[in-house]
Amino acid sequence: MTLKQSKNSSQGIRYFDDLKKYLESVQLSTEDVCIVGSAVLADFGLRENGDIDLAIDPYERGAVDFDSTPKNIDVSVEKYSWLGVTDKELVHDETYHYTTNGIKIVKPEIELSFKHRRLWEKDQRDIELLEQRFLGADDYEWDWSLFSYEFYPDFFDKRGLPESKKKDYSLIAEAEVTLREEGVVATARAGFGLISRKLGISTPKFVGSRTRGKSDKSGDETLYFVIWPTVSDYFDSIVDRLDSELGVVSVEIMNLGDEVGQFVDDMYAVNESERLIEYKKYKINDDGDNVVIVGTEPPVNEYGEIDEDQLSSLKNKIRREYYPYVSKDSFHNIFHGPDSLDENEWITDVLSEYQ
């Protein structure tokens, strides 16, 4: 179907040329990205876009430094996942996007659903513009199967959502959650993604046991993270993300075989309840027996000391990025890392026992 877009089509989107230059600079193919957000309104001449929000295939975005994007381009991470549409689906399934001048753009049904669910004050006018333009239009066949107004608890920030919607669990919403969970569990079990990125890094050499509470507070400490088989398809991307955020110094793929349960037990014994550890063992052991051990530089504060306050927030930031691809109850089973230097020493001690 022919869509009546702005006179110059995607040239109606401000900063479109900047986007193409940016993609070239970071060696991202147009096949692996999709424009999201208000740019769809600009593409149809409804209003100007203030910037360009870009969704990136999760297999590719790990190597992208979000802080180095041009002024008017932002990377949007899993913006529509609370609608049941992951970035992977958005980019590669034409059900959710259309293509203009070689660039994929989110379909208006998806963006309107997002704005209805978020309902910030600034969304009200956009909702009017989208509905006036597309509902009942002769040149656009609106797909109601893509539109979903009901809200179910998302795994990101609930900021801006009315209280009534926070508590509204519809049958449709529950069905969407179930379908998403069943699909991603199958995906998580489907295979084992090898660490193929050419980072020029070596395998780690663990130092063995050390005395607790006597850590060097300078930035010389190596931090160790364990990526669980729950996200085996995204091993490469998470390593890339850790490299972008902290700087990776070592990577090792470890096959634990029938020792997965014991490894989980040992890793979490420092600060988790026995019941929680048993649950983690059950969930992680069911996903596979390969783990990836990543050594990184530590975050350092202005005094040259390790910034422990950053560690927990960084872990959750990365978990949120990959949570749409695991089951709803596996947020903390994506990867494990230290919240403090003491915990990093514990992790190092455990790893030394499995080398």
Higher-scoring residue by pLDDT: 300, 271: 300
What percentage of the chain reaches a pLDDT higher than 90?
A: 51
**Is the Cβ–Cβ distance between 44 and 133 less than 8 Å?**
yes
The one-character DSSP state at 222 is P
Tokens of 113: 């659903």
Provide the pLDDT confidence category of residue 165 given band limits of 50, 70 and 90: very low
Residue count (the chain): 355
Architecture, CATH, for domain 223-353: 2-Layer Sandwich (3.30)
> Once rounded to an integer, what is the mean pLDDT over residues 165-169?
32
Query: Residue 132: pLDDT above 70?
Result: yes
Q: At what angle are helices 260-268 and 274-285 packed, to 10 degrees?
A: 140
3-state secondary structure of 78: coil
pLDDT attached to residue 272: 56
pLDDT attached to residue 292: 97
**Is the Cβ–Cβ distance between 290 and 325 less than 8 Å?**
no
**Is the Cβ–Cβ distance between 291 and 254 less than 8 Å?**
yes
Tokens of 178: 């179930």
* CA dist., res. 278 & res. 63, Å (int): 34
> Residue 61 CB: number of other CB atoms within 10 A?
23
Please write the tens of the pLDDT for every residue from 86-113: 999 999 999 999 999 899 999 999 999 8
* CA dist., res. 219 & res. 343, Å (int): 16
Higher-scoring residue by pLDDT: 236, 169: 236
Going from N- to C-terminal start, the domains of the chain cover: 9-169, 223-353
Please write the tens of the pLDDT for every residue from 273-326: 555 677 778 788 888 999 999 999 999 888 888 888 888 889 989 999 999 898
pTM reported for the whole predicted model: 0.60
